[in-house]
Amino acid sequence: MNVSQRYTETEVTGLDQIELESRALIKTASSLNQIKENWELKQGDLVEALDKNRRLWTVIAGAMSDNTSPQPDNMKQNLLTLAMFVFKRTMEIMVNPTPESLDVLININMNIARGLSEHETPNQSPENP
């Protein structure tokens, strides 16, 4: 294991679940964006990047399907619907790949990550950040 991998693993173990999820979404969006921005050179990495994004959304959908999930029912339903959209869009991109087709997946991941980063932890309140 190299120094970079050890640093990353150490960094990740100190993060809470929301921050881990946010970083995973940002990382997959960044991978997709790198492919989009460097299409001629990176197009060969597309299937792997789409698969990683699909696996991430599979985890999210699984968590939202869990009856013990603490999120409100409407949020769970919205994220499940979004996951289904991501799965459908991923298949469409695999059939007809273009750099522009990645925009929607990149935007979804970044917007969800932004929402997670704005999430207040239970120990925080507006008066006691």
Over the stretch 39-79, which tens digit does the pLDDT of each residue have? Answer: 999 999 999 999 999 999 999 999 888 888 788 889 889 99
**Structural domains counted in the chain:** 1
Q: Would residue 54 count as lying in a domain?
A: yes
- For tokens 């950040």, what's the residue? 129
Burial of 19 (0-12, 13-18, 19+ CB in 10 A): middle
CA distance 29 to 50: 10
Does 64 map to a domain? yes
CATH of residue 43: 1.20.120.340
> Residue 53 carries which side chain, given as an amino acid letter?
N
Model-level pTM? 0.78
pLDDT per position as a tens digit, 89-122: 999 999 999 999 999 999 999 999 998 888 644 4
Tell me, yes or no, whether 69 lies in a domain. yes
Residue 59 domain boundaries: 18-117
Identify whether 11 is part of a domain. no
